[in-house]
Amino acid sequence: MISKIPEGPLAEKWSRRKSDIHLVSPNNKRKLEIIVVGTGLGGASAAASLGELGYNVKVFCISDSPRRAHSIAAQGGINAAKNYQNDNDSVYRLFYDTIKGGDYRSREANVYRLAEVSAAIIDQCVAQGIPFAREYGGYLANRSFGGVQVSRTFYARGQTGQQLLLGAYASLNKEIAAGTVKSYPRHEMLDLVVVNGEAKGIIARNLVTGQIERFGAHAVVIATGGYGNAYFLSTNAMNSNGSAAMQCFRKGAYFANPCFAQIHPTCIPVHGEQQCKLTLMSESLRNDGRIWVPKKMEDVEKLRKHQIKASQIAEEDRDYYLERRYPAFGNLVPRDVASRAAKERCDAGFGVNETGLAVFLDFKDAIARLGHQKVAERYGNLFEMYEKITASSPWDEPMMIYPAIHYTMGGIWVDYDLQTTIPGLYAIGEANFSDHGGNRLGASALMQGLADGYFILPVTIGDYLSKKFAEPKTDTATKEFIEAEKAVQARIDRLFAINGTKTVDSFHKKLGNIMWEYVGMARNEEGLKKAIKEIKELKEDFYKEVYVPGTQFEFNQELEKALRLEDFFEIGQLMAYDALNRRESCGGHFRIESQTEEGEAKRDDSAFMYVAAWEYKGQDSEPELHKEPLKYEFIEVKTRNYKD
């Protein structure tokens, strides 16, 4: 496990690495094949850019079109160090905010590179015709986001992810039309094929016919996003899953910092037992919305009984707890801090809905200050979406929000070149672990996906492929491919053979409950040990009692879910192992045993300033921990402080 971080000053590392990388000539690129799995911002931008370079690319997605990938749902915006606002922003400041926001658990060199390429992403996206918000003079507009004190977020209403993905998808379409990229929609990767220690292809199931198919290449890129759906209820799309990452893990790729999951503070609260999906309200709302709960318990009780409305509670009886606790950042503290503060108030009994798990996000002051039209321009579609779901209008009454699982900072371990511990296997975007440390800042996921896909991977993968152009096309009739296919078939046969009585979702819900209870917003040793044990038992029940209806050779969504759930069990356990090992509070990972007297997270840099990279050691065996020490050469490591 060598991180391959280039020597030299921080600002020169990326250009040094680029000048060291061997090139592949255009006639040789034509001979090389690359598989890209996933078509979100990372996968689509990588596949398109690799196609433009002249490689032969095969791109896979589980949905009916690459455009459905869950990047599409990102609302708020994308960060870039353009300093268009003249507010003293810079590459260094974006780098610094990201490292600090990540609670000093990410690599300096990777994060600096991310900040360095951020400006080019905006240029690229504008050139593709993405209709970013504009000022009246025709220049690009910016907004602020949590965890920073400058305004560097570019946006397209509350649909920034959609517009960026449609841009990357358009570039992908251009390459599909040009013949450099071949698209395989409704195909799900079910295993990675490793030949002589190198990634050489995948086994995939055609989700329409159910056929198992083999695909060979000279390199494989995983861009399949995060594993937040291990919690069952999350803001992730229903089909988002961590299976490709787990397949790579079982084939030898290390998995880094799995316990770092982000709990987003502004989601619509759970409404009842029948719910399957939580909806995020963009963090950009915290720019102008103020978060509060009542000061008096009697007001809380009246609210729960619907005897009063929030708007009737007097100003002096409201506790704007973020502004009270964190005066310097107020409502714009990072996500982990805002989430825990909401939990603290609700645990103290001040939750404002029937379940006691909700706080207010209020736009009354913003509407008075900015006027109806300005607020509508900024948040109109979000207000509408909220009203559609809850049947309550944010124009009249404050929104109700509560934290929910949203993003996973952990992922497949990669070196500076985004290569995993398996040569020829790369991981990009949310699927890797590299840039966000213990907590991701708002509007940085889009930035990282596109940085990896447009500007980093297409360069670094050349270094590996420059040694491979003489190799012929990968033969998929070899024993490695046959064995991998047989193993996939055996997995499917096993699921049908169980023929129990319980549905896949019933097990997934139970897994979600275990995860939220013990591996959620606050974790301790006892709970984590319990989680590991309970997941093991649940898994055993699953293999005795699950019922997967239908057959393999048809469109079968229950089979898809069952295969993904098998991997979620393993991810859940891996998260618990990692959380158990990390006996400090850090970013999104809060260990109850490690907090200050005021209840703030307490990091332990002397013992845990490392990346925890886990190696697979077989079914139900404890994975082996490898530590990559984090060295901070260019910045001073501090306690995160959003108070003053």
Residues 541-580 that bind other proteins (CB under 8 A): 547, 549-550, 554-555, 557-558
Tell which one of 11, 120, 376, 498 touches other proteins (CB under 8 A): 120
378-407 mask for other proteins (x: CB under 8 A)?
A: ------xx--xx-x----------------
What's the min distance (Å) between Cβ of 19 and other proteins?
16
Q: Which of 98, 171, 224, 448 binds other proteins (CB under 8 A)?
A: 171
Q: What is the DSSP string of 509-528?
A: HHHHHHHHHHSSSSB-HHHH
The angle at the Cα of 404, spanning 528 to 529, to the nearest 5 degrees, equals 5
Give the residue with the Cβ less far from other proteins, 453 or 572: 453
Give the max Cα distance, the chain: 76
Residue 472 binds to other proteins (criterion: CB under 8 A): no
Nearer to other proteins, 553 or 632 (CB): 553
Interface positions, 607-636, toward other proteins (CB under 8 A): none
For the bound state, the minimum distance from the C-beta of residue 416 to other proteins, rounded and expressed in Å, comes to 20
Q: Is residue 489 involved in binding other proteins (CB under 8 A)?
A: no
Comparison of 173 and 595: residue with beta carbon closer to other proteins: 173
Residue 641, both tokens: 């402080």
- Give me Rg for the CA atoms of the chain: 24
* Beta carbons of 93 and 632 less than 8 angstroms apart: no
Catalytic residue, chosen from 335, 345, 582, 603, is 335
Choices 121-129, 221-229, 312-320, 617-625 (CB under 8 A): range interacting with other proteins: 121-129
How distant, in Å, are the alpha carbons of 106, 144, 267, 453, 459 from that of 153? 21, 6, 20, 20, 26
CA–CA separation, 523 and 595 (whole Å): 12
By beta-carbon proximity to other proteins, the closer residue of 65 and 639 is 65
Nearer to other proteins, 40 or 442 (CB): 40
Supply the DSSP string of 71-102, one letter for each residue.
Answer: GGG--S-EE----TT-SS--HHHHHHHHHHHT
**Residue 23 sits in the site that holds other proteins (CB under 8 A):** no
Q: Which of 35, 57, 111, 156 binds other proteins (CB under 8 A)?
A: 156
Supply angle C-alpha 283, 101, 511, rounded to 5.
70
Query: Cβ contacts of residue 617 below 8 Å, gap of 6+?
Result: 623, 624
Q: Which of 84, 231, 249, 608 binds other proteins (CB under 8 A)?
A: 84
Q: Residue type at 360? A: F
Three-point CA angle 223, 225, 228, nearest 5°? 160
Backbone angles phi, psi at 290, to 5 degrees: -115, 135
Q: Rounded to an integer, what distance in angstroms lies between the CA atom of residue 469 and that of residue 349? A: 64
User: How big is the site for other proteins, counted in residues (CB under 8 A)?
Assistant: 85
CA 345 to chain centre: 27
How near is the Cβ of 98 to other proteins at its closest, in Å?
21
Site for other proteins in 305-344 (CB under 8 A): none
State the minimum distance, in angstroms, from the CB of residue 42 to other proteins.
13
How would you class 194 by CB atoms within 10 Å of its CB: exposed for 0-12, middle for 13-18, buried for 19 or more? Answer: buried
CB-count exposure of residue 633 (10 Å: 0-12, 13-18, 19+): exposed
Q: Name the one range near other proteins by CB under 8 A: 119-127, 424-432, 435-443, 626-634.
A: 119-127
Tell which positions 136-155 bind other proteins, by CB under 8 A.
136-140
- Binding other proteins (rule: CB under 8 A), the pick from 102, 458, 512, 587 is 458
Q: Which of 12, 87, 123, 301 binds other proteins (CB under 8 A)?
A: 123
Closest among 169, 78, 171, 151 to 118, alpha carbons compared: 78
CB of 513 to other proteins, least distance (A): 17
- CA 87 to CA 77: how far, in whole Å? 18
Q: Where are the alpha helices (DSSP H) in 148-265?
A: 160-178, 243-250
Q: Which is nearer to other proteins, 344 or 387 (CB)?
A: 387
Q: How far is the CB of 52 from other proteins (least distance, A)?
A: 5
Tokens of 566: 């098998």
Contacts of 412 (CB under 8 A, 6+ apart): 222, 245, 248, 249, 253, 254, 255, 256, 420, 427, 431, 432, 433
Q: Which is nearer to other proteins, 343 or 564 (CB)?
A: 564
Interface stretch with other proteins, choices 223-231, 295-303, 440-448, 502-510 (CB under 8 A) = 502-510
Could you tell me the strand order of the sheet in which 624-629 lies? 411-412, 255-256, 610-615, 624-629
Q: Is the four-CA dihedral 627, 628, 633, 639 of positive or negative sign?
A: negative
For other proteins, the closer CB: 557 or 641: 557
Of 133 and 522, nearer to other proteins (C-beta) is: 133
**Least separation in angstroms between CB 627 and other proteins:** 36
Helical ranges in 442-556 per DSSP H: 445-450, 457-465, 479-498, 504-518, 525-545
Q: How far is the CB of 545 from other proteins (least distance, A)?
A: 11
Q: By CB under 8 A, what part of segment 175-234 binds other proteins?
A: 176-177, 183, 185, 208
Binds other proteins (CB under 8 A): choice among 454, 569, 608, 642 = 454
Q: How far apart, in Å, are the Cα atoms of 392 and each of 268, 365, 421, 529? A: 12, 18, 50, 41
Is residue 90 a contact residue for other proteins (CB under 8 A)? Answer: no
Query: Is 335 a residue of the active site?
Result: yes
The reply on whether position 360 binds other proteins by CB under 8 A is no
Whether 452 contacts 71, CB under 8 Å: no
Q: With respect to other proteins, which residue has the nearer C-beta, 321 or 455?
A: 455
Tell me the closest approach of the beta carbon of residue 130 to other proteins, in angstroms. Answer: 8
Binding to other proteins (CB under 8 A): which residues in 41-70? 45, 48-49, 52, 63-70
The distance of closest approach from Cβ of residue 112 to other proteins in the complex, given in angstroms and rounded to an integer, is: 19
Task: Tell whether residue 353 is a contact of other proteins (CB under 8 A).
Answer: no
The single residue among 18, 82, 302, 602 that binds other proteins, judged by CB under 8 A, is 82
Among 19, 88, 274, 621, binds other proteins (CB under 8 A): 274
Select from 1, 21, 73, 367 the one that contacts other proteins (CB under 8 A).
73
Smallest separation, CB 196 to other proteins (Å): 32
Contact 481, 193 (CB under 8 A): yes
Residue 597 CB partners (closer than 8 Å, separation 6+): none
* Residue whose CB is less far from other proteins, 14 or 260: 14
Candidates 15, 275, 307, 393: give the one binding other proteins (CB under 8 A): 275
Of residues 268 and 441, the one with the C-beta less far from other proteins? 268
To which residue do tokens 């109806």 refer? 372
Q: How far apart are CA 364 and CA 394, in angstroms?
A: 9
Residue 439 CB, shortest distance to other proteins, in Å, is: 23
The residues annotated as belonging to the active site are 335
